[in-house]
Amino acid sequence: MIKNSLLPFCLFCFLLFSSAGASAHVQSFNLESHYAVPGGGVAEIVTGTPDGLFLYYTNASGSKVGLLDISDPKKPITGTDISIGEAEPTSASVTGDGKYLVVAARNGDGLDKPTPGSLFIYDIADRASPRLLGQVEIGIGPDCVALAERDGKVAAVVAIEDEETDSEGEATIDGKRAGRVDVVTLNFENPSASKVSSVEFPKATLDAVSGVNFTADPQPEFVAIHPNQLEFAVTLQENNAVAIVDIENFESPKIKTVFSAGTAEREADLQKDGKIQFTEAYKGRREPDGIAYVTAGNEVYLALANEGDSSLKTFGDNVYSGGRGVSLHKLDGTPVWDSGLELESAASLLGHYPDSRSNSRSLEVEGVTGGRLFDDDLMIAVSERGSFIAVYRVNDPKKPELLGLLPTGISPEGVTVLAGRADGKKLIVTANEGDGTVNVYSVSDGPATVDPNSPAISSKAFPWSALSGFTTDGRDIYSVPDNARSPSIIWKLDMKDAKNGLVEISEEIPLKKDGVPAEYDLEGICWTKEGFWLVSEGADSAGNLLVFAGLDGTVKTEYPLPSEFFSKYGDSKNYGFEGVTVAPDGKIYAAFQRGFVLDGPDAAILRFDPASKQWETAWYPLEVHSKDPKKFWMGLSDITALDDGRLLIVERDKGMGGTAEVKRIYSFDSKDFANEKKLEKKLVYDILKENNLLLEKVESLCVLNGDMWIAIDNDGAGWTRMLNLGPVPKQ
């Protein structure tokens, strides 16, 4: 149940974006490109040059900073990487003239062998040939860097978090070394002469602020520079606090104030149970990570990304960690606005709510930034667990307007706005740590570009996620959500507006067995005039089920696999049934994800005869990932039968971003199926090659009106991309 009357409005905003009539207002967003870091590297923090033509992103896995030429935002060009040796880049920023790049890097902040961090300074006037000017020693474990520029001087403000990581690389709290902020007045001619002025947070100062819990261990997280360049704000995340520091004199910074970020109180979903119900009383410390100064009219406010970082048991007071959203505050800390339930509710209707995190920190809004585009002041927040950015119009800071939720790659970390391009294009960019990708969106004061071959999926009433199988009745599409939802359910996707770029989940069909809600791990579905054939994935004969249910969801029959299959072929673990289809002759074909032997070269295709109740098995030869076959293993997803006797099947690897290699549709002929025979497959469509699909789990496939439709299973939260691949190629 969703208790929020604003949801249909928020949903409408997402699909049609703002309906504002004046041409000077933001009305729409379009995804220009989804770029993968080469070699499977990561993208964590992203910054742009003032002309908006180049991006620099930190790639901690490769100890380097990557460069992207986005002169054409639709076609990013990989530039020359900047290696920083063995250090771990944590943040980067470009000077206002575009000539210099400043990179903060961690060299080790363990409990026993701490090493000072480094600030690398590069001349990047020649993008193709960056030149290291020098480096400055800074505090242990630097995190965020931001640049303050005034009167011809540049100061790098660096949050020195000093997490004091343990032997397993996990951060500790209430440690022996207090973090700080280093303000480095940069000398580009002679970097070694740069002046480092440190801002300490005395225990007595923090003790005087109610709600600061680890006053000996502030752990500064993220810094933001005031538009006037005279002060900065820094989050003390684990302490649920924010400090404001005066930098009128770069070489003599002074703490102006420290305040608690307070708590968020509202209704929420606190159960990890496959149900999305925002009905329980919630109170949580905001514990902000990202912070930004946001201008609204002529006033400046602080925007907090309230991720949370402690645990429910940390303080023993039953107050949760994280505000589960974003908030606006006056510069003295007074709350002005909180996103409340609106953001989680909107995410749930767009398939981006992570129910698996309901009992923890939910969306984990990690980063936030601001910018003025057209005649609108905007606030843009990124959700790590929901894998989206939320764009708010904050012309009225007491009533920000949610303009849209934009799907990103997995786990966005960094976000930036590029508004100074000579061509007038205004861009929002995210760096997505989870899959090593960069998303580039354009912002327009006109209507959105409609792509009928890649419609947005939404619902006006039903939270949804994890589309793990497709089927069609010739008009609409039906799907199942594996075990991301409980009890089991079938969703109906209304396709009548797909040509306008919109698909609505318009109906839920709950499954019931003997009058009781049924619980399966549904991975595949096939519609027939008599009812639905479904497959449930499991680790043995009892778990792997072929199920027949009526069109109303009433379970009629269950068909378990014969136990001798597993004694003969092996234990499939949790890689069993994935897709199901009914051939023109009435026989049922079901695809196993990986076969019975997990490291074997073949997957299993099973055939079931409803009349004789007999099972047969044939072997499907799998591709092999070129880089790491064990980590990026191949598997089968959906299967669908054609009238000409062919069966289409989705084969995909576990790779994503730069490690994605196989996202394909193959076919085999049903007349060639025989028990224990190795099948001959033929390539039908290469989704990665033709559609630049960098997401991992192509799970759903059906043929509607002659066209192949697929969708991405988002595993409970994230980008569910739906694509029309066009007509089925002839034999």
User: Cβ(549)–Cβ(534) under 8 Å?
Assistant: yes
Q: How far is CA 551 from the centre of its chain?
A: 34
Q: In the chain, what are the domain boundaries?
A: 84-259, 456-727
For residues 202 and 204, what is the distance between their CA atoms, to the nearest angstrom?
A: 5
The yes-or-no verdict on residue 571 having pLDDT over 90 is: no
Q: Around Cβ 203, how many Cβ atoms within 10 Å?
A: 15
Count of all residues that appear for the chain in the document:
731
pLDDT confidence of residue 315: 79
Three-state secondary-structure class, residue 594: coil
For residues 616 and 621, what is the distance between their CA atoms, to the nearest angstrom?
A: 17
Instruction: Specify the CATH number of the domain 456-727.
Output: 2.120.10
The yes-or-no verdict on residue 57 having pLDDT over 70 is: yes
Q: Around Cβ 312, how many Cβ atoms within 10 Å?
A: 17
Strand order of the sheet with strand 489-494? 456-458, 502-510, 489-494, 477-479, 470-472
Quote the CATH superfamily of domain 84-259.
YVTN repeat-like/Quinoprotein amine dehydrogenase (2.130.10.10)
* pLDDT tens sequence across 111-144: 888 999 999 999 999 999 999 999 999 999 999 9
For residues 639 and 633, what is the distance between their CA atoms, to the nearest angstrom?
A: 19
User: Cβ(427)–Cβ(440) under 8 Å?
Assistant: yes
**Among residues 225, 217, 211, which one has the least CA distance to residue 258?**
211
Three-state secondary-structure class, residue 585: coil
Mean pLDDT of 353-380: 97
pLDDT confidence of residue 23: 55
pLDDT confidence of residue 684: 98
* pLDDT tens sequence across 228-264: 999 999 999 999 999 999 999 999 999 999 999 999 9
The C-alpha angle with vertex 281 and arms to 276 and 285, in degrees rounded to 5, equals 100
The yes-or-no verdict on residue 8 having pLDDT over 70 is: no
User: Cβ(322)–Cβ(331) under 8 Å?
Assistant: no
User: Cβ(305)–Cβ(381) under 8 Å?
Assistant: yes
* pLDDT tens sequence across 271-323: 999 999 999 999 999 999 999 999 998 899 999 999 999 887 777 788 999 99
**Among residues 578, 607, 613, which one has the least CA distance to residue 595?**
578
pLDDT band at residue 694 under the 50/70/90 scheme: very high
Residue 365 backbone phi and psi in degrees, to 5: -70, 115
Strand order of the sheet with strand 663-669? 634-641, 646-653, 663-669, 682-686
User: Cβ(391)–Cβ(21) under 8 Å?
Assistant: no
The yes-or-no verdict on residue 20 having pLDDT over 50 is: no
The yes-or-no verdict on residue 49 having pLDDT over 70 is: yes
The yes-or-no verdict on residue 423 having pLDDT over 90 is: yes
* pLDDT tens sequence across 476-520: 999 999 999 999 999 999 999 999 999 999 999 999 999 999 999
Containing H/E element for 711? strand 707-712
Three-state secondary-structure class, residue 500: helix
Q: Around Cβ 689, how many Cβ atoms within 10 Å?
A: 10
